[in-house]
Structure 1
């Protein structure tokens, strides 16, 4: 095996929290305390400081990217001399289970929709493109839910192609974390958005093997105009996963309709062992094998420390 080449170069410019916060400039804080509470996750409360120091600078940067893309699209339409559908700006958001992707996605959606040039921002979790449980059972993949092979990749790629081509109405399936399966009669309807945020575990993953004949093979990330990876040490993510698992025992798991209802009444020690087993045998394996290797493909990496606070930001150099 050839040794990995070493090059004294990084494609990223790294910023401390303080340096990044300074890039906010005069961007106003548009979210109230009540809105922040509504955007918070089960174990991750969105603080005003986190929005001001991390997400407002990011929303300002993304606004520049979106407005630049809109200007380029208008110029291209004029150059080609034919009508073109509205072209949405697509943001991919990746990272481990329990790292805070959904919370970050909601915060970005709320902030980006406040900018006047792109008020319509839609959010699509890729959980909806998981195969239904019955299909996963048939394929022997139920215990590998969240791994790349558990997704209906063709449907996800078709959805993204339709969105990026400017189709007026596009529908995405809906996943329920309560029943741990798809909701067959529900859909997210995307109608001429300015921005679409696509959030999921493996959205930055390339194909395992490129075709030898050189034919086109689309990646999910081919449809992204900008991508974000949320990172943290494994030990921190494990602690967040376990905190969420134990909290769910007191909330969602108590619903008889919950797929995990059986965990609501076991002892705390049994619950801890069960949660750790699920994390270490499924989610940690997926993180190491599939999610973490895609980190360097992102345009921006948010690295979290304790309490879900972002400590450093790495932005891909232009």
Structure 2
């Protein structure tokens, strides 16, 4: 489907909402999160307001709750029809978007809000960073310069993890990634036990392999096949690039100061050097990955959050049912 058709609502599979229209879909008498809670959930260089939570995330989570409730009811009806008592597997939400666009903050706010609904008290958040190959493997494969590209992930491990979740396995484990050490933490795992909802956040979650299937491959499983709902956090590349540079400068003065930080060698860069270094990373890695692998997956999502200045959501696109 062409870009023109996707942007023309009469032809597009998406409905478009302005910020005001979206905010008017649902409201609550009580603010669901406190200002302190929001400050704890937001990422570096982001300033999510209580108004943003009420206007954007509360209607979004009410919509998600409707989807989850419908899924739970269908499961009960199916059990009755099949005369089986199968445990309901978790509802899985995929959240995609560029580096520095604010996926992690979006994911944490959604997790916090959804856990307040009585039928989904246990909401887990998993990032696909944990399924990056360890640095030693990336170096062996010659992929350190393409960290974050599709080929740098243990896709088989990620699909196995999602398959275990959807099969109803009581306890599932995921690897843990340290942004401070810039590597997988050996012998450390995130343990997930019988969740109601699992949010899977990562730049790669809506991607499909580029390589052509061999004649022997009759089927191919994608990460997104396991999602019950998916979101894409979108913004203009120039905005994202600036957010990335601003974040790098903040990290230079904070996390990079730690001697154990992988990026400690850049802690003494002055502003001009920090901007030059961050722009080089963006132009050679993150921006390239965005254009080649991430942005093309945007219209595979059920819902698109469109961000403008200061990380504020300016509009929402929702796939027509």
TM-score interval for Structure 1 and Structure 2 normalised by the shorter chain: over 0.9
Partner residue in 2 for 1:37: 39
Give the Å deviation of 1:26: 3.6
Partner residue in 1 for 2:120: 118
Equivalences for residues 9-158 of structure 1 within 5 A: 9-26=11-28, 28-158=30-160
Cα deviation 1:48-93 (Å, max 9, x = unaligned): 0100000000000000000000011111122222231231100000
Cα deviation 1:200-219 (Å, max 9, x = unaligned): 00100123234545622110
Q: How many residues align?
A: 316
Q: Distance in 2 between matches of 1:6 and 1:159?
A: 37
Picking from 272, 275, 291, the partner of 2:275 is 272
Residues 85, 167 of structure 1: 8 Å contact kept = no
Q: Distance in 1 between matches of 2:2 and 2:76?
A: 44
1:223 and 2:226 correspond = yes
Give the Å deviation of 1:185: 2.1
Q: Distance in 2 between matches of 1:186 and 1:314?
A: 38
- Is the partner of 1:77 in helix, strand or coil? helix
Cα deviation 1:166-220 (Å, max 9, x = unaligned): 1100000000000000011211111000000000001001232345456221100
TM-score with structure 2 setting the length: 0.95
Give the Å deviation of 1:27: 6.5
Q: Distance in 2 between matches of 1:89 and 1:5?
A: 30
Unaligned runs of 5+ in 1: none
- Is the partner of 2:203 in helix, strand or coil? coil
- Is the partner of 1:292 in helix, strand or coil? helix
Q: Distance in 2 between matches of 1:210 and 1:19?
A: 43
- Is the partner of 1:23 in helix, strand or coil? coil
CA 243–61 in structure 1, closer or farther in 2 if over 3 Å, else same: same
Residues 87, 165 of structure 1: 8 Å contact kept = yes
Q: Distance in 1 between matches of 2:90 and 2:29?
A: 23
Q: Distance in 2 between matches of 1:29 and 1:164?
A: 33
Picking from 272, 293, 296, the partner of 1:293 is 296
Unaligned runs of 5+ in 2: none
Q: What RMSD, in angstroms, separates the aligned Cα atoms of the two structures?
A: 1.5
Worse overlay, 268-277 or 165-174 = 268-277
